[in-house]
């Protein structure tokens, strides 16, 4: 018996099986080495946070506002597909320093800036896209947008924050008054594991017509880990 011939035959069989397995599980194997990975950041200044005017369909002015956003970056080595940002829970700080859940807040996806949709089709490696967290409107014109927070009697000088959820609930539980808040979010994609972060928001309650002063004294944001 030619042992070298037998060994060569077995090596050929083994190699064929390996190639077949690679062909069948190619995407899975590729996913072990190539996958998206997210990094989230924000600064209470442009371009993450910007002044935006609400207008009617005919272009006439309705109200001034400040939009709060965050930047979702793909720091991995593969394109992220159908990326979403999910607002899981909202907490408000109590006077004693503790935190309690805002029960009326609806867990829901947030809107992507400019798209106003739930999913961003793709984010290639090295690129970032912005997602809207919420907006603060000039309180003197808040009633024109029907954004009075439920159960809170605010004056027309006190600000409120409306979160940019994809569907506005009838009970307006997505609108809150002045205070310090923690919003738990999950950033996920069709081909990426969810990343959990907390957005800390401080709404001081006062409106400033100058956007830079509003960003400095009226509202603030930062990202923290769980």
Residue 96's CATH number:
2.60.40.10
Residue 173's SS3 state is: coil
173 and 199 share a domain?
yes
Cα 11 to Cα 162: distance, rounded to the nearest angstrom? 65
The count of structural domains within the chain is 2
Could you read off the pLDDT of 58-92 as tens digits, one per residue?
999 999 999 999 999 999 999 999 999 999 999 99
Phi, psi of 165 (to 5 degrees): -75, 155
DSSP state of 202: E
In this model, does residue 137 exceed pLDDT 70? yes
20 and 43 share a domain?
no
Could you read off the pLDDT of 91-100 as tens digits, one per residue?
999 999 999 9
43 and 118 share a domain?
yes
83 and 130 share a domain?
yes
The residue range of the domain holding 216 is 35-224
11 and 60 share a domain?
no
Cα 171 to Cα 221: distance, rounded to the nearest angstrom? 25
107 and 208 share a domain?
yes
């Amino acid at each position: 018996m030619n042992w070298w011939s037998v060994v060569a035959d077995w090596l050929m069989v083994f190699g064929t099986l390996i190639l077949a397995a690679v062909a069948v599980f190619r995407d899975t194997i590729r996913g072990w080495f190539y996958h998206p990975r997210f990094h989230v950041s924000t600064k209470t200044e442009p371009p993450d946070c910007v002044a935006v005017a609400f207008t009617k369909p005919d272009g006439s002015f309705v109200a001034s506002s400040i939009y709060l956003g965050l930047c979702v970056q793909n720091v991995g080595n593969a394109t992220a597909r159908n990326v979403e940002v999910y607002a899981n829970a909202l907490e408000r700080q109590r006077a004693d320093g503790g935190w309690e859940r805002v029960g009326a807040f609806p867990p829901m996806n947030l809107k992507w800036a400019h798209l106003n949709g739930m999913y961003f089709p793709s984010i290639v490696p090295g690129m970032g896209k912005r997602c809207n967290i919420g907006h603060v409107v000039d309180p003197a014109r808040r009633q024109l947008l029907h954004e009075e927070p439920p159960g809170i009697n605010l004056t027309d000088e006190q600000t409120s924050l409306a979160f940019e959820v994809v569907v506005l609930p009838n009970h307006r539980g997505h609108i809150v008054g002045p205070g310090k808040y923690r919003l738990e979010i999950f950033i996920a994609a069709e081909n990426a594991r969810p990343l959990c972060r907390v957005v800390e928001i401080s709404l001081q309650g006062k409106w400033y017509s100058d956007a830079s002063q509003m960003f400095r004294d009226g509202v603030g944001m930062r990202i923290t880990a769980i």
